[in-house]
Chains A and B, each alone.
Chain A
Amino acid sequence: MQVASTPKRPPAPAPAAARSKHPSDRAGVDLCAAIPGLRAVLKWRPLQFWLMWANLVCFAVFINAGLFGSPVGSHNIMIVFVWILWWFLLIALLVPFLSRFWCTMCPLPAFGEWLQRLRLIGVWPGSGPAKHRTRSLGLSRAWPRALQNIWLQNGGFLGLAVCSALLVTRPIVSTVVLGGMIVLALGLALVYRQRAFCMYLCPVSGFLGLYSMTSTVAVRVKDRALCRGHKEKECLLGCAAGYGCPWFQYVGSMERNNYCGMCFECFKTCPHDNVTLYLRPFCSETGIKGVDEAFKAFIMVALALVYSVTLLGPWGVVKDWANASESGHWGGFALYALAVVGLCLVLFPALHLGAVALGRRLGGGPAVRLKAAFVGFAYTWVPLGLLAWIAFSVPLLMVNGAYILSALSDPMGRGADFFGTATVAWHPILPEWVPLLQAPLLLVGLFYALSKSLQVSRQLFGPPARAVPAVLPVWGLATAVTAVFMFFFAG
């Protein structure tokens, strides 16, 4: 077995400020410069292992509880921790403030990656040409070109969402789905290169990527010119200090957070310490690329609406249809599924298309291609969708949060009391505050949706005289959608 050794580093180039007219072409604060020790932590090879291991331990508890614990969701840690606590932390804290930091520690691809590398911590160095600076087990095939997009993630997330009444109430269903994802990730790791599962299949990864565009942190290089002039490209191809980007990204030209899994391998491989972590304003990125990403934005907003109707609305019959396995209304479920898929893939995109087409006409812009406007304006739904999801998740935590304490002491729902909190009776936490929190969150989402869509419009249509009329229909649609959310949340 070969052991990784630290390579001899090339001499450090001149500082970026000395070679560039602009000392930094990145907006934001360099956290590695501002926080002593942060770079060392991010470069520490075992960091990702320990984070994954901690989550794997939690995951093992959840899987065991799902298999052998109480079938009652509210008394099983699988449901309570995954769909109440984890979901809230993910959507309300991790994504907006730490981008895809969840992907750093996600246990789902752990076994696949460890097997692929035949290492849990270290690097399996290669001895061949430049393309083989590190080795991996398995066939190492390229992911099919036709599937190099997020359509599979869109479909997977939509499918899970349609069945979410089952998923979030029955521990065994959650166990099968999450366990299945581990097996799938493991299998794909042995056939395809690097993190193919995370990049193209994981249903969670799809929306994490989209919403991480809003995040206040980003992994970027300090000096692009330095990367352009550096031919070794260790960040892409790997070296003895680390692997080439498992997410197939070239950090030297990376502009968006979408596909950066924050594994920090590029921190370890860059011989010039040119990669860093930036703190930046919320919603700094506005560029959606591709119809698949646009549809992800539509699906997320539409699903937030669907859940608001199903879970927060007063229509018992919709709940019965959504939860057909309990109610037996399979005909109703088929109708529900059709309505959800239709809303996400047809109605909502059609409304967006209508608004964009009208805006394009108002902006007098046949020069702007309809597809470009359709995709570009889809960013409107990113901040609005994220804030709507956060607003939707607030009552999840405040109303069902008491279950967290009881599940902590009695993870299986079998009468244990490890920390003396098993007998904490269910009680909502300040339920009267829920709409008072939701309404401002939605308004923040609307504010960013309006301001960022105007920014997109100016990029597409140019001067305000054209950009403002062009964005008006999209503004109208965003305001109407916010009003619908407001009706369900605070009405």
Chain B
Amino acid sequence: MRALLHELFAATLVTVSLVGISAAMQPEPATRGMRVVSLTGVKKDGVFTDEKVDGTNYWRRSFRRATVVLDEGETILLRLQSADVTHGFYVPELGVGPVLIEPGKVVELELQGKRAGLFTYYCTAVCGHCHYYMQGTIRVLGRGRKDTETAAAVAPGCRHGGERPASTPRAVVDHGQLLFASMGCESCHGPRGSGGVRNYNYVKDVVPQNNLLAERLQLFEPDDAETVLALIDKGADLAALETTPPFKTYSRFLAQYKAVQDLIKNGNRAGKKDPAGPAPPLSMPAWREQLTDRDIESLIAFLLAQFPWDE
């Protein structure tokens, strides 16, 4: 009888410990009396998501970009976590952040819907190939309004490792097109460099479009642009051509071309419109460690090929 009791005790102990541990490891965090919105940064998809991310799903699926919706005047508790690497979180228009979110830590921020409108949140720590896509929308609804609209995508989804874009007659342009998508350039400069992405408190309000690069490079004729593209495609050293420069404005073109190369290599901090305001969330990063000279030439070639000559 005593042995039986021992066995029963042991079996109960094992069951209770296993069940108890499983239950205890799913804690409900405090809410401070506010509505809680949990966002998790996911490097591989370039998103902050409101979906649950854990070991069972992280590696096998993609996560949707979260749109945070709150009422004007409402204050919510943002609970920010990282599923992988250090991310940043910044909503300049609402005066939230920037804060760093380290993996394994939970950062809690109060977010107040000060005024109705659409606001953009950004990741401010370069977190991987998809970092430049890591933006999302905060929708503050005016009083009495319901959330019926679908938020416009602030940045397209990260296409790193996705399908190759359609090929063009020039290999160098194809390579530039691939880089423009895979390095996340389009997340700020828009599809095919069409620009228009808002950059809060930036002197020009929006990130410059760069499909008009041909103009900046003093290439005013399609033939001139075509000549330059052919030279880049051949891998020619544009600063040391053996023959006569191919068009009249070539020296001015060369100076601008060098300036654009330097800008891509070394980056540029976005200037503030209101010097007392927050730093613009988007700045041109320095690519000299990620891109070779040939990569940068390819990007310039791709952007030159985007100029709308027909218009």
Question: Which residues in chain B, 128-186, are within 8 Å of chain A measured between CB atoms?
Answer: 161
Whether A120 sits at the interface, judged by CB under 8 Å, is: yes
Task: Return the chain A residue nearest B13 by Cβ.
Answer: A53
Whether B1 sits at the interface, judged by CB under 8 Å, is: yes
Whether A20 sits at the interface, judged by CB under 8 Å, is: no
The answer to whether A75 and B14 touch (CB under 8 A), given A61-B21, A121-B7, is no
Whether A445 sits at the interface, judged by CB under 8 Å, is: no
Question: Which residues in chain B, 96-128, are within 8 Å of chain A measured between CB atoms?
Answer: 103-106
In the assembly, what is the distance between CA of A76 and CA of B53, in Å? 14
Question: Which residues in chain A, 363-384, are within 8 Å of chain B measured between CB atoms?
Answer: none
The answer to whether A60 and B104 touch (CB under 8 A), given A46-B6, A68-B54, is no
Whether B17 sits at the interface, judged by CB under 8 Å, is: yes
Task: Return the chain B residue nearest A4 by Cβ.
Answer: B3
**Smallest CB separation, B160 vs chain A (Å):** 10
Task: Return the chain A residue nearest B2 by Cβ.
Answer: A3
Are A68 and B7 closer than 8 Å at their CB atoms?
Answer: no
The answer to whether A413 and B104 touch (CB under 8 A), given A171-B55, A172-B55, A172-B58, is yes
In the assembly, what is the distance between CA of A412 and CA of B3, in Å? 38
Q: What 6 A-B pairs come out closest when comparing CB atoms?
A: A75-B104, A415-B106, A172-B55, A120-B10, A413-B104, A71-B58
Question: Which residues in chain A, 253-306, are within 8 Å of chain B measured between CB atoms?
Answer: none
Chain A neighbourhood of B21, CB < 8 A: 57, 60-61, 64
A-B CB contact pairs (8 Å), 25 listed: A3-B2, A60-B18, A61-B25, A64-B22, A67-B54, A68-B25, A70-B81, A70-B103, A71-B59, A71-B84, A120-B7, A120-B10, A120-B11, A170-B59, A172-B55, A172-B56, A325-B59, A328-B161, A411-B25, A413-B104, A414-B104, A414-B106, A415-B29, A415-B104, A422-B104
Chain B neighbourhood of A72, CB < 8 A: 82-85, 103-104
Are B25 and A412 closer than 8 Å at their CB atoms?
Answer: yes
**Smallest CB separation, B218 vs chain A (Å):** 41
Contact with B along A37-71 (1 / 0, CB 8 A): 00000000010010001001100110011111111
In the assembly, what is the distance between CA of A134 and CA of B83, in Å? 51
- With A3-B3, A60-B17 known, 9 other A-B pairs at CB within 8 A are A4-B3, A46-B6, A57-B18, A60-B21, A70-B104, A71-B54, A170-B59, A410-B104, A414-B81
Task: Return the chain B residue nearest A78 by Cβ.
Answer: B55
Task: Return the chain B residue nearest A172 by Cβ.
Answer: B55
**Smallest CB separation, A128 vs chain B (Å):** 21
Whether B308 sits at the interface, judged by CB under 8 Å, is: no
The answer to whether A406 and B14 touch (CB under 8 A), given A46-B6, A57-B21, A61-B21, is no
The answer to whether A70 and B6 touch (CB under 8 A), given A76-B55, A172-B59, is no
Chain B neighbourhood of A49, CB < 8 A: 10
Whether A152 sits at the interface, judged by CB under 8 Å, is: no
Are A120 and B14 closer than 8 Å at their CB atoms?
Answer: yes
Are B104 and A406 closer than 8 Å at their CB atoms?
Answer: yes
Chain B neighbourhood of A482, CB < 8 A: none
In the assembly, what is the distance between CA of A60 and CA of B25, in Å? 10
In the assembly, what is the distance between CA of A56 and CA of B11, in Å? 13
Are B84 and A68 closer than 8 Å at their CB atoms?
Answer: no
Are B17 and A57 closer than 8 Å at their CB atoms?
Answer: yes
Whether A27 sits at the interface, judged by CB under 8 Å, is: no
Whether B27 sits at the interface, judged by CB under 8 Å, is: yes
Chain A neighbourhood of B161, CB < 8 A: 328
In the assembly, what is the distance between CA of A412 and CA of B29, in Å? 13
The answer to whether A60 and B55 touch (CB under 8 A), given A72-B103, A119-B7, A415-B106, is no
Checking B22, B55, B83, B105 against A415 with a beta-carbon cut-off of 8 angstroms, the contacting residue is B105
Q: How many residues of B contact A (CB 8 A)?
A: 34
In the assembly, what is the distance between CA of A210 and CA of B104, in Å? 38
Q: How many residues of A contact B (CB 8 A)?
A: 41
Whether B26 sits at the interface, judged by CB under 8 Å, is: yes
Whether A438 sits at the interface, judged by CB under 8 Å, is: no
**Smallest CB separation, A138 vs chain B (Å):** 18
Task: Return the chain B residue nearest A66 by Cβ.
Answer: B55
In the assembly, what is the distance between CA of A140 and CA of B63, in Å? 48
Contact with A along B1-35 (1 / 0, CB 8 A): 11110110011011001100110011101000000
Whether A106 sits at the interface, judged by CB under 8 Å, is: no
**Smallest CB separation, B191 vs chain A (Å):** 25
Question: Which residues in chain A, 52-101, are within 8 Å of chain B measured between CB atoms?
Answer: 53, 56-57, 60-61, 64-72, 74-76
In the assembly, what is the distance between CA of A75 and CA of B18, in Å? 22
Chain B neighbourhood of A53, CB < 8 A: 10, 13-14, 17
Contact with B along A167-179 (1 / 0, CB 8 A): 0001110010000
Chain A neighbourhood of B11, CB < 8 A: 120
**Smallest CB separation, A171 vs chain B (Å):** 5
**Smallest CB separation, A109 vs chain B (Å):** 14
Whether A1 sits at the interface, judged by CB under 8 Å, is: yes
The answer to whether A1 and B4 touch (CB under 8 A), given A172-B59, A415-B106, is yes
Whether A332 sits at the interface, judged by CB under 8 Å, is: no
Task: Return the chain B residue nearest A65 by Cβ.
Answer: B25
The answer to whether A70 and B83 touch (CB under 8 A), given A53-B14, A56-B14, A170-B55, is yes
In the assembly, what is the distance between CA of A53 and CA of B106, in Å? 32
Chain B neighbourhood of A435, CB < 8 A: none
Chain B neighbourhood of A410, CB < 8 A: 104
Chain A neighbourhood of B85, CB < 8 A: 72
